[in-house]
Amino acid sequence: MTTEAAIHTSVGTHRDREIVAAEVIVTCPARNFVTLKIVTRSGVTGIGDATLNGRELAVASYLKDHVVPNLIGRDAGRIEDTWQFFYRGAYWRRGPVTMTAIAAVDVALWDILGKMTKQPLYQLLGGRSREGALVYGHANGKDIDECSAEVGKYVALGYKAIRAQSGVPGIKKAYGISNLKNAYEPAESELPLETVWSTSKYLEFVPKLFERLRNDHGDEIELLHDVHHRLTPIEAARLGKSLEPFHLFWMEDSTPAENQRSFELIRKHTVTPLAVGEVFNSIWDCKHLIENQLIDYIRTTIVHGGGITHVRRLADFAALHGVRTGFHGATDLSPACMGAALHFDAWVPNFGIQEYMRHAPETDEVFPHDYSFKDGRLFCGESPGHGVTIDEKLAAKYPYSPKQLPVARLEDGTMWDW
């Protein structure tokens, strides 16, 4: 017989690779996560993160109702074809829910391929370009003193790059400041928390914060800052210019990026490096930004950007234009995303940096993983696939808890960008 079903390869026969089950697991170990688990006839299992903060059940339903029925019977080894099937086959293109669902399938299939071939994922991508991925941690404080002390703690932990966010005088709840003294978790309440924003107070304050951080911690440490979409393009240009003396590693999401041309204005006025893209879900969201070299770092990551198959395409395109990766890595992206991202980071030639907000211990227990932190870098492990699994029994002990992200209004009540 010369049919595909009978051909033995290093990844088994077509029959071995047939997908016989796919399950969507929703769990809340300290926060909500959605995970897709795919199983082949030969018993190989792969998982992919499908978490979209504040909209978790929309992705879970998209997967259960529209994706899983199409997965059963497919060849798990046909990763590209499966990607094209779910992207083109949906007719409705792109969008965070669709692309997150596609990413979950894609990452689970790469995980399976790694396990079938007994190779770590980075090896399947083309092998290591580096040992560890430079990461940045999150320091935040209610004021400059507290923020600077937190930066000091991250330096002591060995971090070489630190994102700094501080409470702003006159703004009751500024972005990025935790209530508790652990990681910042913005999705705090069942309905969106209303926050109030003042651009003028913020713009006056931020250069003072970074002046102090440079005075306290010197010039060597890399400092980053997230504006979280709050400014207009000309305001972003002003902030970038005023931060130039403190040579930030990047200024992130300084203005909403639906209109990619906005960045032309910012770029004209400042040499502060620009990062954008954690809310993007395809190459089309950043095509103009990249080909016109309007940004320095692209933040679209595996889980929201259609998985490894699409983000690899995006990263290659970025490489042609001197743009480096700086993947989103907040705690609302599960360890399954982090595992896949770290393998990608180990391979991608135009790597820049990886965000690393440490997960809560409950999250780490539900998602056993083999990546580890040392001297300011994260190292992916050597187990086959992406090296992250899910303890389903434990996951079942943490039921879904409805939570949404906050919203922001200007002081006169006008809705603004959070």
Find the shortest distance in angstroms from Cβ 12 to Mg ion: 41
Among the options 14, 138, 225, 228, which is catalytic?
228
Question: 278 or 285, CB closer to ligand KDG?
Answer: 278
186 binds ligand KDG (CB under 6 A): yes
CA–CA separation, 29 and 108 (whole Å): 21
53 binds ligand KDG (CB under 6 A): yes
Residues in contact with Mg ion by the rule CB under 5 A:
226, 278
Residues 312-371 that bind ligand KDG (CB under 6 A): 328, 330, 332, 355
Question: 16 or 185, CB closer to ligand KDG?
Answer: 185
The alpha carbon dihedral of 60, 64, 67, 72 has a sign of positive
247, 341, 349: which is closest to 301 by C-alpha? 341
278 binds ligand KDG (CB under 6 A): yes
Find the shortest distance in angstroms from Cβ 415 to ligand KDG: 17
Q: Determine the angle formed by the axes of helices 144-156 and 199-217, rounding to 10 degrees.
A: 40
The reply to whether 14 belongs to the active site is no
Helix (H) or strand (E) run with residue 111 in it: helix 96-117
Q: How many residues in the chain?
A: 418
Helix (H) or strand (E) run with residue 122 in it: helix 121-125
Residue found by looking up tokens 């709050």 in the block: 230
Residue type at 132?
A: G
* 3-class secondary structure, 19: strand
The reply to whether 328 belongs to the active site is no
The alpha carbon dihedral of 320, 321, 324, 327 has a sign of negative
133 binds ligand KDG (CB under 6 A): no
Question: 20 or 279, CB closer to ligand KDG?
Answer: 279
Q: Which does 185 bind (CB under 5 to 8 A by kind): Mg ion, ligand KDG, none?
A: none
Separation of CA 312 from chain center: 14
Find the shortest distance in angstroms from Cβ 327 to ligand KDG: 10
Q: Which does 330 bind (CB under 5 to 8 A by kind): ligand KDG, Mg ion, none?
A: ligand KDG
Among the options 87, 175, 297, 398, which is catalytic?
175
Give residues in contact with ligand KDG (CB under 6 A): 53, 186, 226, 228, 278, 328, 330, 332, 355, 405
Which residues have a catalytic role annotated? 175, 228
